[in-house]
Amino acid sequence: MLSAHALTRDFGERRAVDRVDLTVRPGRITGFVGANGAGKTTTMRMLMGVLGPSSGEVRWHGRPATAEDRRGFGYMPEERGLYPRMKLAEQLAFFARLHGAGRSEARARAGELLEFFDLGDRADDLLDSLSLGNQQRVQIAAALVHRPTALVLDEPFSGLDPHAVDAMLELLQREAGEIPVLFSSHQLDLVERICDDVVVLAGGRVVSAGSVDDLRSQETPSYRVEVVGHDAGWVRDLAGVRVDSIDASVVRLRLAGLPPAELVPALAARGGVLEVTRVRPSLSEIFREVTR
């Protein structure tokens, strides 16, 4: 289990990460989300030990994480960091050897990962001859080369086409069966698809954390209402509700004081109603709600 405890980082006067607590459990995929500049990369760098905290602590299995512990982690940094003019297979074998693999074991592992990412026939190509999405696949392969004990991935999905996204999802699910996996992403639909847990950061602070289902259940329920006629504007006059949007005859609203059982009668007393549906909030909606 990888965890952060009151992890804080200042850059001069500016506090980029502010007393962040988070836990990444084995067997679960944790998504790390937040607007640009929220502090995700800075937190991940501290988890990996490439940046020291101003205060707070990173723990591995409940005790302070050491350099040795971190050598076991797989990391995909935001700035990436492979050698553009090195052949793919050579490059991956090189990283495997840095982690202590013997020559033939390193070569075999490089070949296996390139096959997995459909790059087996590009083994002798230079990294910078690949498309950006394929370079991204090699970045992930490099993070996996030493069979890591935990994975920390900074935006692994950015720039990937849908096939590569699917391959990445499959891979993360497979890896997360055994080890803690934390990844940051702005693609909330993907986070929703595969994450068990989510940590939402805003202005350097954790504003929400837990399983996707828990976050959903904390959210104020939202309703879709379709009224008779072309203008549902009158719904705004209802007491005890907050209207999120109106599009002709369709309204999205939340209850703000009105008990759920009174919504339909209150609507019907004011106008013609065709349908009222309770809507399960998407992660994007939850994100907007908790970060606003």
The token duo for 103 is: 């020559």
The span from the CA of 287 to the CA of 216, in Å, is 10
Which range in 38-46, 103-111, 190-198, 273-281 contacts ligand ATP by CB under 6 A? 38-46
DSSP 163: H
Site membership for ligand ATP, residue 38 (CB under 6 A): yes
Site membership for ligand ATP, residue 41 (CB under 6 A): yes
Q: Which of 2, 4, 7, 16 binds ligand ATP (CB under 6 A)?
A: 16
Within 8 A by CB and 6+ apart from 73, the residues are 2, 47, 48, 148, 149, 150, 151, 152
Strand pairing of 55-60 and 63-64? antiparallel
Site membership for ligand ATP, residue 37 (CB under 6 A): yes
Q: Which amino acid is at 76?
A: M
The token duo for 88 is: 């793919």
User: Looking at beta carbons only, is 16 or 65 nearer to ligand ATP?
Assistant: 16
Q: Which amino acid is at 213?
A: D
Q: Which of 3, 28, 31, 40 binds ligand ATP (CB under 6 A)?
A: 40
Site membership for ligand ATP, residue 36 (CB under 6 A): yes
CB of 267 to ligand ATP, least distance (A): 40
Site membership for ligand ATP, residue 229 (CB under 6 A): no
Q: Which of 8, 42, 134, 222 binds ligand ATP (CB under 6 A)?
A: 42
Site membership for ligand ATP, residue 79 (CB under 6 A): no
Q: Which amino acid is at 255?
A: L
Site membership for ligand ATP, residue 159 (CB under 6 A): no
The span from the CA of 183 to the CA of 177, in Å, is 15
CB of 94 to ligand ATP, least distance (A): 28
CB of 73 to ligand ATP, least distance (A): 18
User: Given CA atoms 137, 142, 145, 148 in this order, what sign does their dihedral have?
Assistant: negative
User: Looking at beta carbons only, is 38 or 190 nearer to ligand ATP?
Assistant: 38
The token duo for 267 is: 């609507």
Q: Which amino acid is at 250?
A: V
> What residues line the site for ligand ATP (CB under 6 A)?
11, 16, 34, 36-42
